[in-house]
Amino acid sequence: MNISVELYEEDKRVKGIIKGEIDAFTAPLLREKLSEINLKENLRVELDLTDVTYMDSTGLGVFVGFYKSAKESNVHMELTGLSSRLKRLFDITGLGDIMDIQASEEVKIDETV
């Protein structure tokens, strides 16, 4: 099980590209990398999950924790590129209603069929 987290920052925007599996083994690394982001007011953080192949409840917990910290600092967090499986995980937990989540284009096409 592996994970890759790359963070790029310019001006008031941080883009994170996350690849691999997010589970009890890899979640601490993801949490550590996200904690490196300097959450300053009016920052926008976009986390691209296009290449996340698996996520369990531990991964959800990492995103909830980061979301709470971001919200407290008046930072906008957006999750992008979610597969239908990941999007469903956020939706059934109710997180899809409170977080800014953009599913991948494939999911949007599938939902219209």
Question: What residue ranges do the domains of the chain occupy?
Answer: 3-96
pTM of the model: 0.89
- pLDDT at residue 75 above 60? yes
Alpha helices in the chain (DSSP H): 27-35, 57-72, 84-92, 95-98, 105-112
Q: Is the pLDDT of residue 104 over 90?
A: no
Q: Tell me which architecture the domain covering 3-96 has in CATH.
A: 2-Layer Sandwich (3.30)
SS3 33: helix
CA distances from 66 to 38, 76, 107 (A): 12, 11, 25
Q: 73-94: buried (b, 16+ CB within 10 Å) or exposed (e) per residue?
A: eebebebbbbbeebbebbeeee
Q: Name the pLDDT band for 52 (thresholds 50, 70, 90).
A: very high
Q: What is the mean pLDDT of residues 78-94?
A: 94
Does 110 score more than 60 pLDDT? no
pLDDT of res. 95: 93
